[in-house]
């Protein structure tokens, strides 16, 4: 499969890793919109949030834990940060390997849509 994020997981494309566990990796977004902009992804390929089975509890727990760790190591756990995921083209998803954006390090606009 020709997937940029699978290549990042496999080390074929370089990335600035922030955190890694058995099932999850987090790395800096290439087009940062804020001083902290990290992508948290499952190492396994899922096109979007909708494809992650809820039975994958270990993965889901690791994803939440990774978001918490990213917030801690980047220094935004206390100041605040936003977590978002885009599902599908109308939401602006451009990479079809599930990822959570963790954004912070400045005051963020309230607007979500
Ligand atoms: P989305 O539009 O929600 O699918 O976000 C995709 C993000 O992925 C976008 O903010 C830019 C980032 N991105 C795309 N290609 C690469 C890459 O090769 N390396 C890194 N680090 N980020 C990438």
pLDDT in tens, 30-89: 999 999 999 999 999 999 999 999 999 999 999 999 999 999 999 999 999 999 999 999
Question: Is 0.85 topped by the overall pTM?
Answer: yes
Alpha carbons within 13 angstroms on the beta-carbon side of residue 74 total 30
Domain chopping of the chain, boundaries: 4-104
> Which tokens belong to 93?
């998803």
Distance 94 CA to ligand 1 centre (A): 7
Give me the pLDDT at residue 73, please. Answer: 98
Distance 92 CA to ligand 1 centre (A): 11
pLDDT range class, residue 93, cuts 50, 70, 90: very high
Q: Please tell me which residue in 45, 65, 97, 99 is annotated as part of the active site.
A: 99
99 is catalytic: yes
pLDDT range class, residue 6, cuts 50, 70, 90: very high
Fold of 4-104: HIT family, subunit A (3.30.428)
Average the pLDDT over 20-30 and give the result: 98
Q: Strand locations in the chain, DSSP E?
A: 17-20, 24-28, 36-42, 81-84, 100-104
Q: Is the pLDDT of residue 1 over 80?
A: no
Q: Which residue has 């599902």 as its token pair?
A: 87
Q: Is 13 in the pocket of ligand 1 (CB under 6 A)?
A: yes
Query: What stretches of the chain show up as alpha helix (H) in DSSP?
Result: 4-9, 57-73
Nearest to 10 by CA among 54, 41, 55, 53: 41
**Closest ligand 1 atom, residue 96 Cα:** 4
Q: In this structure, how many other beta carbons lie within 10 angstroms of the beta carbon of residue 40?
A: 26
Q: Is 83 in the pocket of ligand 1 (CB under 6 A)?
A: no
Give me the pLDDT at residue 113, please. Answer: 67
């Amino acid at each position: 499969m020709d997937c940029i994020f699978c290549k990042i997981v496999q080390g074929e494309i370089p990335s600035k890793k922030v955190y890694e566990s058995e099932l999850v990796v987090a790395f800096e977004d290439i087009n940062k919109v804020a001083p902290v902009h990290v992508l948290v992804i499952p190492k396994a390929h899922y096109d979007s949030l909708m494809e992650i089975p809820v039975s994958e509890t270990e993965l889901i727990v690791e994803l939440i834990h990774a978001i918490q760790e990213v917030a801690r190591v980047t220094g935004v756990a206390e100041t605040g940060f936003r977590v978002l995921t885009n599902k599908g083209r109308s939401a602006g998803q451009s990479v079809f390997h599930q990822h959570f954006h963790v954004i912070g390090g400045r005051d963020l606009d309230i607007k979500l849509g």
